[in-house]
């Protein structure tokens, strides 16, 4: 890697732009600390190819959350250009980003996930609040299918809130997911690719507001993170198995984070898989890595080297 010029792609036009900038800056600093020749690039899609050429980029560290960076678009462009990059490829990225597709795959594969129904904007011509209330009991969850960072996610506790929740989710996505609300313990599992996979310590998430929303995720002091999670060994093993199954099913590479709810009977439910997890001061993957004795700089280097190993393994 000493001959590579690493472009840390960050920012971009998505709703998660600010989080991505924070992630990218942190990664850029870590790579430079490790001695890598790295440059930060705020993605401007129309000038994407020019940005890479201007900076002499030969290897990309993807730090873009949401649109372009996490949905397979960036991965496809880099594949066409023959430029290697960190993290999952086109298909895994696209599948994980679209919760309506990934949840269908979880269901088909027998991976436990909350029961859900899926609606598109064309369905909004019908009386969706009535349909939803006929199929679900309260509370329920309404979420945009193709967003991260809890953007476009609403937990509905009263029937009168359903219409507004549906409208809010449709603001961010042409497809929405309505699913059962799972009462229990909120967990997340970070997985580092490679052979074998490395499952980092399970994190228990305890937001002081009671809801792990955008504010709770990115505001210091609003959420308590407990590592390892306060669950028994049997529950922890079931959670790890569900996380690894979801990671493998979607074909993830590099690093990914699997969000899981554990109900009061210790049954795990996979909510989603994040293929470009946050790497900010309040982010979960660095916390899990630290609990495993991996510093932030070492974590960034591990992710980079995993991408290098993947490139070598795919060469004819």
What are the structure tokens assigned to 311, written together?
Answer: 């490139």
Cβ burial of 187 (10 Å; 0-12, 13-18, 19+) is buried
Catalytic annotation on 149? Answer: yes
- 55 assigned binding-site residue: no
Q: One of 14, 93, 100, 149 is an active-site residue; which one?
A: 149
Cα 125 from Cα 106, distance rounded (Å): 29
> Positive or negative CA dihedral for 64, 69, 70, 75?
negative
The alpha-helical segments, DSSP class H, found in 65-145 are 73-81, 90-97, 99-109, 128-135
Q: One of 14, 179, 283, 310 is an active-site residue; which one?
A: 283
Going by C-alpha positions, the residue among 214, 238, 225, 240 that lies closest to residue 290 is 225
Catalytic annotation on 16? Answer: yes
Catalytic annotation on 122? Answer: no
Cα 258 from Cα 310, distance rounded (Å): 21
- 274 assigned binding-site residue: yes
Q: One of 14, 16, 102, 168 is an active-site residue; which one?
A: 16
Strand partners, 186: 205, 261
Residues carrying an active site annotation: 16, 149, 283
Q: Point out the annotated binding site for Mg(2+).
A: 259, 272, 274
């Amino acid at each position: 890697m000493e001959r590579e010029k690493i472009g840390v792609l960050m920012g971009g036009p998505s709703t998660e732009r600010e989080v991505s900038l924070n992630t990218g800056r942190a990664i850029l600093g870590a790579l430079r600390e490790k001695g890598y020749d790295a440059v930060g690039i705020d993605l401007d899609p129309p000038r994407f190819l020019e940005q890479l050429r201007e900076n002499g980029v030969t290897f990309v560290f993807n730090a873009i959350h949401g649109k372009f960076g996490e949905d397979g678009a960036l991965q496809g462009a880099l594949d066409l250009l023959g430029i290697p990059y960190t993290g999952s490829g086109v298909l895994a990225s696209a599948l994980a980003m679209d919760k309506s597709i990934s949840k269908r795959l979880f269901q088909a594969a027998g991976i436990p996930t909350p029961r859900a129904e899926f609606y598109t904007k064309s369905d909004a011509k019908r009386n969706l609040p009535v349909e939803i209330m006929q199929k679900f009991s309260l509370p329920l969850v309404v979420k945009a299918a193709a967003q991260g960072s809890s953007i476009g996610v609403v937990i509905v506790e009263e029937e009168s809130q359903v219409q507004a929740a549906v409208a809010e989710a449709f603001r961010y996505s042409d497809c929405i997911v309505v699913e059962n609300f799972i009462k229990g313990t909120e967990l997340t599992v970070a997985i580092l690719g490679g052979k074998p996979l490395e499952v980092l310590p399970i994190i228990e998430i305890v937001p002081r507001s009671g809801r792990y929303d955008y504010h709770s995720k990115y505001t210091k002091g609003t959420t308590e993170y407990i590592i390892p999670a306060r669950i028994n060994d049997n529950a922890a093993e079931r959670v790890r198995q569900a996380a690894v199954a979801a990671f493998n099913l979607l074909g993830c590479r590099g690093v990914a984070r699997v969000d899981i709810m554990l109900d009061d009977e210790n049954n795990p439910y996979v909510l989603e898989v994040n293929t470009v997890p946050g790497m900010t001061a309040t982010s979960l993957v660095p916390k899990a890595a630290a609990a495993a004795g991996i510093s932030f700089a070492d974590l960034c280097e591990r992710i980079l080297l995993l991408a290098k190993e993947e490139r070598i393994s795919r060469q004819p």
